[in-house]
Structure 1
């Protein structure tokens, strides 16, 4: 099977992490690709802040030392290497998760920790092997964002996570209530709240219940779908029609066209004047295709995108729900570093004061935390703000 770009990036990052510094030409030879391909990969990873690139060489990013403070009053990074080694399992290093990884890297740098990355490419069956690779590379704690896609993936591919031998924090994922995974620390976005923000904004502009156009191929997409039903109920709105199933246009052009046609039909019939579309890429492509079919945004259809990765770059800048991706990465890393520091302090105390015990005789641990961050709504031209309300 041909290696994907994500897998090649994963191998490139692992090579640079192991060496510290490497020439691009040497990386090309190690990866078995042309120098042009290696240079393009390095540029892409450096643009995401995952590598440092200078004069034909790349190096593993290091935090800033010294006693200065960052803009905004944040403390500067601790000395590189003074903290623990942290492993991060992510389903992708692009689009949504690029910002999550950037936030994790910033928090790790502040703590003087070394962050190492493995990518699953949204193949949950590979998550365990990738995580074992992180542990073999020396990870003392783990940030875990499993590559779940389908509704049944969590049940089928998650038992091992609760049995990890080091502290772990679930990253931008929610466990099934009552499952073993639900007892782990986690930091995630509240997508239900994000959907409520979007629906309330459109209704406040005078639109009836907005339609939802959404994928069903990621935890975020599934959370948006469930949050949509909850939002309609919470706001006392009737469901305007079935959720319109969307798919990536590059993978299923006919399926994507069917979604566009369904939305066009709803607008043409007067059944809908507003829609929430997950995700940004689909929303931009839908706006383009709808224009070809005679539907204008925002004049005929007020539209809000979900994710806010590239929504502002559309011809008509798209209003978008923006999950706090970078902050999720930062807080999850801070929580993991705190857990590791507590464990180190407990080991250092040794024969000191005995820990508090619960009735069954075991030491009492600090309670686990489920931290939920709220998305924001960034209002732009596509929702029709400031225009006459529809009749």
Structure 2
């Protein structure tokens, strides 16, 4: 099986950690890749703060050629503890979460160590062991869960960790052992409510939901959509349209687009909430080919707000507070480690509210006679990027 970029990055990090430092040309030979690939990998990892780079060589953060091992608070160059972060990805949604955690760790004088699971929950425990072996004194854990069964199948190890841990952008089943842990997460149910209410206030009938089902965020958006309909006294015009990645499952993606087109053409719906940004942008482009215009024929809101503002028609989007989640989780973990919250203090579940960023894609008016949108200042950013 061909090695993924994430696996290659982990091998590169292991080599640098074991050696303390290494030349980029030597890493290319050890990894069996071209110097260009090794250089690109090093630049990416250095940009994420996972390596230090100087004059053609790289070193483990806080270490320089000839230096001895660095452990404990000294590794961060300050007085704070060493923190480990397990994330399912370093791109798209989680890049901002990681950035927020890194900022908060730096303010606390701590060093943040990062490991990526590449959405393989069966490997989460082993990667976390690597963080502990690298000196992590506390952990921020965002497991690589995809489906609803993953927390039960791949989550028990988290409750047995030997150091304080905070769940990051993940929720556990009520009453489970994981539910008794500290956690910080976006309130995606509130985000879905913001989108549905905005479209209804624009005068549309009940919006459709087009969503994936391959991540905790996608599942939370689906659940939040159902809760939003209940809260607003609405009924779904039809079942949720299942979305999939267009590049991996083009036929299924096309079926989702055509289902949305049929709903618009038949008058079933004039508005939709689409998870996620990438799917929404590709759907808008394909719908245009099929004669459905956004926002004239369909008002559309995307969920995630990673790239929504960059679409040909800038997309209104729900923006989870990703960077703030990383910051708050790191602050909570540091407080646990430094005595701000002792062992006898209650565990904390912190939910941060998404915002709605209004752009051009929901400008069409429906025929339901609703009032125009007046989102409160703390919920709606007009043309905010």
Provide the TM-score with structure 2 as the length reference: 0.87
Mark the runs of 5 or more structure 1 residues left unpaired by the alignment. 63-77, 347-363
Counterpart in the other structure of 1:180: 177
Summarize the Cα distance change of 1:119–1:153 in structure 2 as closer, same or farther, 3 Å threshold.
Answer: same
Contact kept, 8 Å, 2:22 with 2:59, in 1: the verdict is yes
**Aligned with 2:339: secondary structure?**
helix
Counterpart in the other structure of 1:241: 238
Whole-Å separation in 1 of the counterparts to 2:228 and 2:157:
34
Summarize the Cα distance change of 1:133–1:51 in structure 2 as closer, same or farther, 3 Å threshold.
Answer: closer
**Aligned with 1:383: secondary structure?**
coil
**Aligned with 1:173: secondary structure?**
coil
Whole-Å separation in 2 of the counterparts to 1:366 and 1:272:
49
Counterpart in the other structure of 2:80: 83
Whole-Å separation in 1 of the counterparts to 2:127 and 2:12:
15
Task: Please show how residues 274-285 of structure 1 align to structure 2 within 5 Å.
Answer: 274-285=271-282
Contact kept, 8 Å, 1:49 with 1:102, in 2: the verdict is no
Aligned-residue RMSD, C-alpha: 2.1
Aligned residue pairs, count: 356
Whole-Å separation in 2 of the counterparts to 1:303 and 1:20:
50
Summarize the Cα distance change of 1:188–1:180 in structure 2 as closer, same or farther, 3 Å threshold.
Answer: same
Counterpart in the other structure of 2:8: 8
Contact kept, 8 Å, 2:210 with 2:275, in 1: the verdict is yes
The reply to whether residue 224 of structure 1 matches residue 221 of structure 2 is: yes
Shift of 1:51: 4.8
Counterpart in the other structure of 1:125: 122
The reply to whether residue 101 of structure 1 matches residue 98 of structure 2 is: yes
Which of 358, 364, 368 is 1:379 aligned to?
Answer: 358
Summarize the Cα distance change of 1:49–1:287 in structure 2 as closer, same or farther, 3 Å threshold.
Answer: farther
Contact kept, 8 Å, 2:83 with 2:138, in 1: the verdict is yes
Task: Please show how residues 317-328 of structure 1 align to structure 2 within 5 Å.
Answer: 317-328=314-325
Shift of 1:45: 3.7
Task: Please show how residues 20-169 of structure 1 align to structure 2 within 5 Å.
Answer: 22-48=22-48, 50-51=50-51, 53=53, 55-58=55-58, 80-169=77-166
Shift of 1:82: 2.4
1:288-312 superposed Cα distances (whole Å, 9 cap, x missing partner): 1111111111111111100011111
Counterpart in the other structure of 2:72: none
Counterpart in the other structure of 2:262: 265
Whole-Å separation in 2 of the counterparts to 1:313 and 1:135:
39
Counterpart in the other structure of 1:74: none
Whole-Å separation in 1 of the counterparts to 2:292 and 2:50:
41
Summarize the Cα distance change of 1:259–1:167 in structure 2 as closer, same or farther, 3 Å threshold.
Answer: same
Whole-Å separation in 1 of the counterparts to 2:45 and 2:209:
34
1:133-188 superposed Cα distances (whole Å, 9 cap, x missing partner): 11111111110011110110111111111111110000000011000011110000
